[in-house]
Amino acid sequence: DTGVSQNPRHKITKRGQNVTFRCDPISEHNRLYWYRQTLGQGPEFLTYFQNEAQLEKSRLLSDRFSAERPKGSFSTLEIQRTEQGDSAMYLCASSLGGSASHEQFFGPGTRLTVL
């Protein structure tokens, strides 16, 4: 399967714990995006990478959130000291280039539940 993969698919955690999600993009894609989607809403942009460089972060991305793409391949999104408001689906997408025209391919998402 050469699509975007995300792990884990589901994560249940207690408030205050740290969680880390992983995204493996399509191998030749140099752009990688993270979005957050709450129930019944459209995805909201969090951050994106061009290769290993993090080029933009949304104001939604508080100091408790950090994302990395160390070798320009897979990416991780860590949430520290989780809060109930962090419960959402976290989507990863990748694209071949940086043009707005390039299709973004989405992964299945990681559903986070914070108790």
Partner 1 sequence: AQTVTQSQPEMSVQEAETVTLSCTYDTSESDYYLFWYKQPPSRQMILVIRQEAYKQQNATENRFSVNFQKAAKSFSLKISDSQLGDAAMYFCAYSGETSGSRLTFGEGTQLTVNP
Which residue in 21, 23, 35, 77 binds partner 1 (CB under 8 A)? 35
Q: What is the dihedral of CA 26, 27, 28, 34, to 10 degrees?
A: 50
Residue 53 neighbours by CB under 8 Å, 6+ apart:
none
CA angle centred on 99, ends 98 and 105, rounded to 5°: 70
Which residue in 40, 53, 71, 84 binds partner 1 (CB under 8 A)? 40
Q: Is residue 25 a contact residue for partner 1 (CB under 8 A)?
A: no
Q: Is residue 60 a contact residue for partner 1 (CB under 8 A)?
A: no
Distance between CA 33 and CA 93 in Å, rounded? 5
Distance between CA 101 and CA 31 in Å, rounded? 13
Instruction: State the minimum distance, in angstroms, from the CB of residue 64 to partner 1.
Output: 21
Instruction: State the minimum distance, in angstroms, from the CB of residue 115 to partner 1.
Output: 21
Judged by the rule CB under 8 A, the positions of this chain that interact with partner 1 are 3-4, 31, 33, 35, 40-45, 48, 55-56, 91, 93, 95, 98-104, 106-109
